[in-house]
């Protein structure tokens, strides 16, 4: 639960992206006692108008919350922390769209996959870009309505160096909002650790059109997920990345069981005819593997298949 003793110093937080994680962060931070004001940033002016006209509603096993949060194309006042919660393939464009108002505010990226923070840093060369990896789980149940499924840990920091005061203040804010967070000495192992689990589960579940638990339960799906994870681990080893677990395959199957009822975001994207994050997951593994001459046929296959299905679904009739 949020603490009554405010340790952070942020006055105004802008959350970019009205998706599930963006809504969870916006509502939870808005409920911090004595905390910052919150603005939700949306690229869609008409949707922003609709969302501003009603409270944002969050339901969770620990209780329901709602908050009246202004939703704008850009914040009306300078923000001193920006949190970017779009999908990985949307992050760079969203950062470029924020360049006119972000100023010198630090920006926290919370995306799946590999390379997002670097792309955002290229788009905002004068900004401090913090890498975030979250195990929060949430699903949109309607426009401006979100179901907070699991309140997992969020890890913050930089890739290749330790945290600074800005990272620690952001960690304090999330903890005060009831969202467990820690500062990491190096985000690289954390990013890769989640990358390999997502890369093993998401495309297999999406292509088979099943919930996560079926990936662990069905022998053929499990074998494919394990092959993807093992190739990813070999790639990480070749790149000199120390993973946060001994076996990526075991971590992936354990996670599939723990999230058995979840319909992963890639499955939802394929069903909705939307662009997936495949190029930041398995596609990224293939790119790094090619640099180190690591064979990754399973990752190459699922990348090609998801791209093909996604392209077919996105093609206009």
Domain boundaries, the chain: 12-186, 189-314
Q: 171-175, 192-196, 222-226, 311-315: lowest mean pLDDT where? A: 311-315
Mean pLDDT of 241-260: 95
pLDDT range class, residue 312, cuts 50, 70, 90: confident
Sign of CA dihedral 120, 124, 130, 135: negative
pLDDT digits (tens, 9 = 90+) for 94-152: 999 999 999 889 999 999 999 999 999 999 998 999 999 999 888 899 999 999 988 88
pLDDT of residue 256: 93
Residue 273 scores a pLDDT above 70: yes
Radius of gyration of the chain (CA): 19
Round the average pLDDT of the chain to a whole number and report it. Answer: 93
pLDDT of residue 137: 86
Task: Point out which residues pair with 132 in neighbouring strands.
Answer: 110, 156
Mean pLDDT of 283-311: 97
Looking at the annotation, which residues are catalytic?
194
| Cα 56 from chain centre | 20
Please give the CATH topology (third level) of the domain spanning 12-186. Answer: Rossmann fold (3.40.50)
Given the DSSP bridges, would you call strands 71-72 and 65-67 parallel, antiparallel or unpaired?
unpaired
The span from the CA of 78 to the CA of 234, in Å, is 45
Residue 69 scores a pLDDT above 60: yes
pLDDT of residue 259: 87
Sign of CA dihedral 122, 27, 133, 167: positive
pLDDT of residue 149: 85
| pLDDT-above-90 percentage for the chain | 86
Residue 27 scores a pLDDT above 90: yes
Please give the CATH topology (third level) of the domain spanning 189-314. Answer: 1.10.1040
The tally of CA atoms less than 13 A away on the side-chain side of residue 208 is: 23
Residue 2 scores a pLDDT above 70: no
pLDDT range class, residue 180, cuts 50, 70, 90: very high
pLDDT range class, residue 62, cuts 50, 70, 90: confident
Structure tokens at 160: 């290749």
DSSP string over the chain: ---SS-----SEEEEE--SHHHHHHHHHHHTSTT--EEEEE-S-HHHHHHHHTS-EEEE-TT--EEE---EESS-SS--SEEEE-S-HHHHHHHHHHHHHHHTT--EEEE-SSSSHHHHHHHHSTTS-EEEEEEEEEEEEEETTEEEEEEEEEEEEEBTTB---HHHHHHHHHHHHTT--EEE-S-SHHHHHHHHHHHHHHHHHHHHHT--HHHHHHSHHHHHHHHHHHHHHHHHHHHTT---SSS-HHHHHHHHHHHTTT---HHHHHHHTT---SGGGTHHHHHHHHHHTT---HHHHHHHHHHHHHHHHHHS--
Beta-carbon contacts of 43 under 8 Å, excluding residues fewer than 6 positions away, are: 73, 94, 97
For the chain, the residue count is 317
Phi, psi of 117 (to 5 degrees): -60, -35
pLDDT of residue 1: 42
């Amino acid at each position: 639960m949020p603490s009554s003793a405010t340790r952070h110093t942020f006055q105004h937080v802008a959350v970019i992206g009205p998706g599930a994680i963006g809504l969870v962060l916006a509502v939870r931070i808005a409920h911090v006692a004595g905390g910052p004001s919150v603005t939700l940033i949306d690229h869609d002016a008409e949707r922003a108008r609709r969302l501003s006209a009603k409270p944002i509603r969050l339901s969770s096993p620990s209780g329901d919350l709602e908050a009246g949060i202004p939703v704008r194309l850009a914040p009306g006042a300078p923000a001193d922390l920006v949190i970017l919660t779009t999908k990985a393939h949307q992050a760079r464009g969203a950062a470029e769209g924020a360049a006119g108002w972000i100023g010198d505010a630090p920006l926290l990226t919370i995306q799946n996959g590999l390379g997002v923070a670097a792309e955002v840093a290229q788009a905002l060369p004068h900004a401090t870009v913090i890498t975030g990896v979250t195990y929060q789980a949430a699903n949109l149940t309607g426009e401006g309505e979100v179901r907070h499924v699991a309140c997992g840990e969020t890890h913050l920091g930089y890739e290749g160096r330790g945290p600074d005061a800005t990272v620690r203040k952001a960690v304090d804010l999330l903890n005060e909002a009831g969202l467990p967070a820690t500062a990491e000495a190096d985000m690289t192992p954390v990013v890769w650790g989640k990358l390999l689990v997502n890369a093993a589960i998401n495309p297999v579940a999406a292509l088979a059109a099943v919930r996560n638990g079926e990936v662990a339960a069905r022998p053929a799906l499990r074998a494919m997920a394990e092959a993807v994870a093992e190739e990813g681990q070999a790639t990480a080893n070749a790149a000199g990345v120390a993973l946060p677990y001994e076996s990526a395959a075991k971590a992936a199957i354990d996670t599939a069981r723990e999230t058995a009822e979840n319909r992963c975001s890639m499955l939802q994207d394929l069903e909705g005819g939307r662009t997936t994050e495949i190029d930041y997951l398995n596609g990224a593994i293939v790119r790094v593997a090619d640099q180190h001459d690591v064979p990754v046929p399973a990752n190459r296959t699922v990348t090609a298949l998801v791209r093909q299905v996604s392209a077919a679904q996105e093609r206009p009739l």
